[in-house]
Structure 1
Amino acid sequence: MSSAQAAAERIAQLRSELDAHNYRYYVLDEPSVPDAEYDRLFNELKALEAEHPELITPESPTQRVGGEALQAFGQVRHEVPMLSLGNAFEEQDLLDFDRRVREGLDLPGGDLFGDGVSVVYSCEPKLDGLAVSLLYENGQLVRGATRGDGTTGEDITSNVRTVRNIPLKLHGSGWPAALEVRGEIYMPKEGFEALNARQLESGGKPFANPRNAAAGSLRQLDSKITASRPLELCAYGVGRSDGELPATHFDILQALKGWGLPISRELKRASGIAECQAYYRDIGERRDALPYEIDGVVFKVDAVAQQRELGFRAREPRWAIAHKFPAREELTELLGVEFQVGRTGAVTPVARLRPVQVAGVTVSNASLHNMDEVARLGVMVGDTVIVRRAGDVIPQVLGVVAERRPVDAQAIQVPQHCPVCGSAVERTQLVKRSKGRSSTSEGSIYRCVGRLACQAQLKQAIIHFVSRRAMDIDGLGDKIVEQLVDTGLVASPADLYKLHFEQLVVLDGFAELSSRNLLAAIEASRTPTLARFIYALGIPDVGEETAKLLARALGSLERIGKALPEVLTYLPDVGLEVAHEIRSFFEDEHNRQVIAALQGYLELQDEGDMHPQFAASTTLAELLGKLDIPFIASTGAQRLAERFGSLEAVIAADWLDLRQVERLNEKAARSLRDFFDVPANAARARAIEVQLLAFGMHWQSERKTAAGLPLAGQSWVLTGTLESMSRDVGKQRLEALGAKVAGSVSAKTACVVAGPGAGSKLGKARELGVTVLEEEAFLAELARLEG
């Protein structure tokens, strides 16, 4: 066999494998290989096609990167019009739709003896994207078009070919010779947030919402831009078809799925309008948890024969309706801006709005986030603004209707002095640390420097301190905390433990019973776990999970308070910026005084040794890596560690010594020497090593086992995506209980935790009869084992 023949065979094999992997990933939601393996196959195909360009075909998975920019889009006339749907805004609208359908089909109505004959509907979420038409001929994608006015759309073939989950060639067999698929191209929430972050980083303008982002991406004349956007398709129907299709809408979509086209995972059948109403309520409750934006639910008569019988009005089918959710965006007037002071001193602008109904709730305030956001929006007092509310999220101002700006509109100015305590308001400074260097730039947050002398900060700090997930002092609501601070009884969290009955009983709203109950709740909080106490302190960027991690890993308040930033980064999910926040908090003299005072009243639980997982857990190479020495990467650090064996030997190494290190170039050697010639750098490295020794984490420390822990000796596997925590955090919590977290399933595996997207590992676990826990059960088991 010639090399060209071998390449052709391998290219065909790779295309087939990649198509199969794409189908399992996008359509079945059952990834069959890790991303790294997919990338390896893709890159091999790309390299082979580069060597043999004559073998490149339009349907190859590599041909999604976009081609030459177009001068303009061509026009496409839809053979079967792409009609819009009628809308139902109230429940009665949906009931009327069902009545019209039953009358149109001449079905028996309900009476005193029954509900009559029910119509079967298909139900799926109404995605907020851009409707498209995809034409396949003999299984090959030959054209993509926008809906346009329903009769004529724009030819966006080159752009739709870049959308990753649109098959360029249909899978399986049995598809019609010509098949026009209709669907919605949308941008998932996660991809939208990442795109906007990139837009801001590059100085571009962020998109207002995922729908605008998707529509803008598909209307790019340069398809390379479209290819760079995180777009996905969801097929919802068929237009033209030269061949037989199943007899119901539900089964047509299942056929499309079998041919490689993604359909909604929420697709269901409903028998009768009551089941449709239940579906609408269920999707509405889960709306914010879905990975994409939806603005309602689409109900279609399921039987195609009944659809034909019902027919069409002038612009919409009689057999389908979109039951919309209440609007989440409205226009209103910005009446003014107030500045609130938070627990950390952040001075935040809050928009005061002319009250407006948004998603069924009256909104009169909205977040403006920070002054950078004010500048980005270009918003002024008096403007007409777009306000959005999503679920329980605080309403936010999305944009300005510039053409409605009044002549007397006023610019928004950040106050020079704190509106609560009068202290100076300063702009935060951002310190970016990389490769042993740091640079400072202005942050987006303005902060009151008054600290706990500022009553707003003091009140918020205490409200956080007593909250349910922190010290859990029942009866200390926001109003009571404000009263305690305003009367001067509490000027620090420690003052809560000085309160006595005579001080409380005379306050507004207090009586003998409520005073005694509050004192009892304060008394009951004197023995918190270390994790609760760390969380209660309100360290910036340290949430509940990070507090638990610090407590489990380091084991004592003393170690946490002493831990250097570089040592803290050995803990899972603790980055350098968070590590510096923790270190800065414990170095602050005022915070130290408050903690010392609290220790006089509290008895922390669960304090003990470092977790066995971290005993002798680091290496010299990792320590060198933590120092961020310019031009010393992980491989270079490993070679230095192998050559010198100790930190002191590395610090003392001269040019002659460094020349003995395998493949260490002159630039790296000079950088290492220059770095340690700075006394502060050498002192910092030594301090880290001293602390690693003190904590028992040093490579020369004694190794320990997790014997006696509830999961000691057990092997667990995590697969899929966990929604309540990262996989790293899940792994860390299991390891804290003594388990070994493995990367593959075997007969010795004790349990597999399967989140959404779990694939082959889940299948292997079921095949071997290994216990499988979904996320809810996993969280319950963690809570039980962690006590």
Structure 2
Amino acid sequence: MTTPTAQIVDAAAYAQAVEDAVKAAAAYYTGGTSPLGDDAYDQLVRGIAAWEADRPDEVLPGSPTGKVAGGAVEGDVPHTVAMLSLDNVFSPEEFTAWTTSLSRRIGHEVEQFSVEAKLDGLAVAARYTRGRLTRLITRGDGTAGEDVSHAIGTIEGLPLELTEPVTVELRGEILMTTTQFEHANEVRTEHGGQPFANPRGASAGTLRAKDRDYTVPMTFFGYGLLPLPETEKGLAVQLGEAAHSELMDQAATYGVNTTATTAVPGITTTGVEETLARVQEIAALRADLPFGIDGVVIKADLAADQQAAGAGSRAPRWAVAYKLPAVEKITRLLAVEWNVGRTGIIAPRAVLEPVIIDGATITYATLHNPADITRRDLRLGDHVMVHRAGDVIPRVEAPVAHLRTGEEQPIVFPESCPHCGSGIDTSEQRWRCENGRNCHLVAALSYAAGRDQLDIEGLGATRVVQLVDAGLVTDLADLFTLTREQLLDLERMGATSTDNLLAAIAAARSRPLSRVLCALGVRGTGRSMSRRIARYFATMDNIRAADAEAMQQVEGIGTEKAPSIVAELAELAPLIDKLAAAGVNMTEPGATPPAVTVVDADSGAGSAETADGPLAGMTVVVTGAMTGALEKLSRNQMNELIERAGGRSSSSVSRKTTLVVAGEGAGSKRAKAEDLGVRLASPDEFATLIAAFLE
């Protein structure tokens, strides 16, 4: 399957397409925001190329084909070696065809490929003289770029001085991580500016800005290392003969940031199948990366192959970009809905003109909170940048201010709770109904009684409504003080159903602390996080005694989330006391305080894994239908079992995965495990391994 091509029917349409493409490229390369999405731009350029292929004598001089950056940007500092763009492929078939063409060009099959994530930032050249950073230049039109040396010192990963006093040029990408982007927009709006639409636009604007009274950090990732005319001869020869993977290793020894430190390090592969497998691995990790990528760069790794392939006027023939589906596009904000969650949080939701992103039709997107709407200056009718990656909930990034017509209208905030009409607590960024959980008491109780929380069979939403309407239950703890007489007085509650419900409630008293914590619905936590907290602290008393610093020792809890969790637990203190008084369990089986902290070598985060157990130190993925002793366990119960046995549960297979439990119908995850050489186990084999921990 290939990316569709825009159909151009006549010379007038061709001229208009050229004009639209150049304008879009100029907006993208100079400000990071374009009136066309990536998919639409790619289709347009392909249509232009198809028209020109049939009419080579009618090609307009301004055409974006065959030009770096679509011919939209220029520069005044000459590059010592042309800084080219990359040709694109969009499917395995197109990539296979490219490798065949490359092999034919160099006279043999490519021995080794280098495969790296294609970072969504701005390409720059950093020149070092005797180890000191002296000049920073944008790619420009490929032959000359813009001098942005004023930004030196504001870019993480780009050292002012290398570890060795060498004269070299580093090429790489400057971008903003998600955290840096959010910080940049906060600072920018505090100083009266419009928020950036996306991280790339933020990077482009920040890199070029010279006279701002504030600075925001950016990040550099190196992807190339080459000699300058002044480079010592021996080093120049060494760099000229080194494979790309060796150059990246050398850059890292100089103290330069590369993707080697990320979840998607550059690796070498052999053959088409192995290379395409790595493309899929990177694509699967895309949604969880702390920075944006829009594809995968594949290069002939060996210098001899690169030299034999050569380069065209726009792109090298030995490298290609395998483009991934776009994860952000521009659409219109039609309306804003205000929804109230089970904890009383009032959340705005954007209603959008439908747009297809990453294969899904997006009609709604999160707007975070009222403060975020104000900070981004969003208005009804705005063209907005919408971001979606993988299964992540789509979010509205910012308005595309230059597309405003003047007819946009302000967004009206609610003055009272949209659900119950009570007052609104606006003291924090996330507004909340003054009734808190009681605003949506039925939803909160139904959630708490769910299978993955307290698992109270027979307590569905209809029964919860009965209990609330009768005044028998005003919070979660009241469930555990219900009497047989009270239940028998309710409609459609006979002796058998009453006894069964009371037995289920009694059983819920002994659920593990992790289930109780999850049932409370603390903001910022869920099933997995509740398990980690419970296993780390072991008792509710320890959890309640923890301050923000202690809470951050739990894997996945950072500096922003920790204080809110601590604050909400303090707010829930009366309910927790009431639950304890009703005999609800407040300890986690198998966890011993203080928990042993295992530091993840990649993230540096602490984990509350146990130091012993048959799965100690293992990362386990469960896929397919379980059978035998595991047949009746839900996926959440399986995850609990893994963690009780000392392991760590995960939903995706990667090189870090230790074991994949593959049941009936296991598909892509099993195949990926086989490709990566990850150990496989059947449900029965796994049950035998953790038999001591099965209830």
Superposition TM-score tier, normalisation by shorter sequence = 0.5 to 0.7
Structure 2 residue matching 1:184: 3-state secondary structure: strand
| Residue of structure 2 in register with 1:585 after alignment | 572
Q: Which amino acid aligns with 2:259?
A: S
| Residue of structure 2 in register with 1:533 after alignment | 516
Q: Is the 8 A contact 1:186 1:210 kept in 2?
A: yes
Deviations 1:585-631 (A, max 9, x none): 335xxx58xx758965x5426499xxxxxxxxxxxxxxxxxxxxxxx
Which runs of 5 or more residues in structure 1 are unaligned? 1-72, 108-116, 430-442, 508-512, 609-707, 739-751, 756-776
| Residue of structure 2 in register with 1:305 after alignment | 304
| Residue of structure 1 in register with 2:429 after alignment | 444
Q: Is the 8 A contact 1:471 1:532 kept in 2?
A: yes
Which stretch has the larger CA shift, 299-308 or 350-359? 299-308
What is the CA distance between 1:85 and its match in structure 2?
A: 0.5
Q: Is the 8 A contact 2:466 2:490 kept in 1?
A: no
Deviations 1:455-489 (A, max 9, x none): xx12431244134553245797xxx5378538968
Deviations 1:213-249 (A, max 9, x none): 33333223259966x6243342334375663122432
After TM superposition, the score normalised by the length of structure 1 is 0.56
Q: Is the 8 A contact 1:540 1:582 kept in 2?
A: no
What is the CA distance between 1:288 and its match in structure 2?
A: 3.2
- CA distance in 1 between counterparts of 2:391 and 2:490 reads 35
Q: Is the 8 A contact 1:311 1:318 kept in 2?
A: yes
The alpha-carbon distance between structure 1 residues 129 and 306, as it changes in their structure 2 partners (threshold 3 A), is: same
Q: Which amino acid aligns with 1:217?
A: T
Q: Which amino acid aligns with 2:202?
A: A
Match status 1:470 vs 2:420: no
- CA distance in 2 between counterparts of 1:537 and 1:514 reads 26
* Alignment counterpart, residue 150 of structure 1, candidates 137, 142, 147: 142
What is the CA distance between 1:402 and its match in structure 2?
A: 3.8
Deviations 1:501-521 (A, max 9, x none): 9999989xxxxx999999986
* Alignment counterpart, residue 441 of structure 2, candidates 433, 447, 458: 458
Equivalences for residues 74-85 of structure 1 within 5 A: 75-85=76-86
Question: Percent identity of the aligned residues?
Answer: 32
Q: Is the 8 A contact 2:358 2:388 kept in 1?
A: yes
Match status 1:229 vs 2:217: yes
Which stretch has the larger CA shift, 387-396 or 486-495? 486-495
Aligned length: 525
Aligned Cα root-mean-square deviation (Å): 4.9
Match status 1:134 vs 2:93: no
After TM superposition, the score normalised by the length of structure 2 is 0.63
What is the CA distance between 1:279 and its match in structure 2?
A: 0.7
| Residue of structure 2 in register with 1:746 after alignment | none
The alpha-carbon distance between structure 1 residues 518 and 82, as it changes in their structure 2 partners (threshold 3 A), is: farther
What is the CA distance between 1:130 and its match in structure 2?
A: 1.5
- CA distance in 1 between counterparts of 2:119 and 2:497 reads 51
Q: Is the 8 A contact 2:536 2:591 kept in 1?
A: no
| Residue of structure 1 in register with 2:320 after alignment | 321
- CA distance in 2 between counterparts of 1:357 and 1:385 reads 14
Match status 1:254 vs 2:232: no
Q: Is the 8 A contact 2:534 2:588 kept in 1?
A: no
Deviations 1:352-406 (A, max 9, x none): 1122111222211111122222222332333322111133321111122345446
Match status 1:384 vs 2:362: no
- CA distance in 1 between counterparts of 2:267 and 2:597 reads 32
* Alignment counterpart, residue 112 of structure 2, candidates 96, 120, 125: 120
What is the CA distance between 1:260 and its match in structure 2?
A: 4.1
* Alignment counterpart, residue 550 of structure 2, candidates 568, 572, 587: 572
- CA distance in 2 between counterparts of 1:368 and 1:119 reads 49
- CA distance in 2 between counterparts of 1:556 and 1:248 reads 56
- CA distance in 2 between counterparts of 1:597 and 1:169 reads 59
Structure 2 residue matching 1:330: 3-state secondary structure: strand
Q: Is the 8 A contact 1:720 1:754 kept in 2?
A: no
The alpha-carbon distance between structure 1 residues 162 and 410, as it changes in their structure 2 partners (threshold 3 A), is: closer
What is the CA distance between 1:340 and its match in structure 2?
A: 0.6
The alpha-carbon distance between structure 1 residues 579 and 154, as it changes in their structure 2 partners (threshold 3 A), is: closer
- CA distance in 2 between counterparts of 1:306 and 1:551 reads 53
Structure label with greater radius of gyration: 1
Q: Is the 8 A contact 2:197 2:385 kept in 1?
A: no
Deviations 1:700-729 (A, max 9, x none): xxxxxxxx99799x9x78656675x954x7
- CA distance in 2 between counterparts of 1:281 and 1:517 reads 49
| Residue of structure 1 in register with 2:622 after alignment | none
* Alignment counterpart, residue 175 of structure 2, candidates 186, 203, 228: 186
Structure 2 residue matching 1:133: 3-state secondary structure: strand
- CA distance in 2 between counterparts of 1:486 and 1:515 reads 13
Structure 1 residue matching 2:412: 3-state secondary structure: coil
Equivalences for residues 484-563 of structure 1 within 5 A: 484-485=464-465, 493=476, 524-539=507-522
The alpha-carbon distance between structure 1 residues 553 and 131, as it changes in their structure 2 partners (threshold 3 A), is: closer
Q: Which amino acid aligns with 2:177?
A: P
What is the CA distance between 1:171 and its match in structure 2?
A: 4.1
Deviations 1:617-675 (A, max 9, x none): xxxxxxxxxxxxxxxxxxxxxxxxxxxxxxxxxxxxxxxxxxxxxxxxxxxxxxxxxxx
Which runs of 5 or more residues in structure 2 are unaligned? 1-73, 553-561, 620-641, 649-689
Match status 1:781 vs 2:646: yes
The alpha-carbon distance between structure 1 residues 597 and 356, as it changes in their structure 2 partners (threshold 3 A), is: same
The alpha-carbon distance between structure 1 residues 159 and 450, as it changes in their structure 2 partners (threshold 3 A), is: closer
Structure 1 residue matching 2:268: 3-state secondary structure: strand
- CA distance in 1 between counterparts of 2:435 and 2:213 reads 51
Equivalences for residues 216-365 of structure 1 within 5 A: 216-221=205-210, 229-238=217-226, 243-244=236-237, 245-265=240-260, 266-365=265-364
| Residue of structure 2 in register with 1:91 after alignment | 92
- CA distance in 2 between counterparts of 1:78 and 1:449 reads 62
- CA distance in 1 between counterparts of 2:536 and 2:102 reads 61
Structure 1 residue matching 2:204: 3-state secondary structure: helix
| Residue of structure 1 in register with 2:48 after alignment | none
Match status 1:428 vs 2:423: no
What is the CA distance between 1:418 and its match in structure 2?
A: 3.4
What is the CA distance between 1:331 and its match in structure 2?
A: 1.6
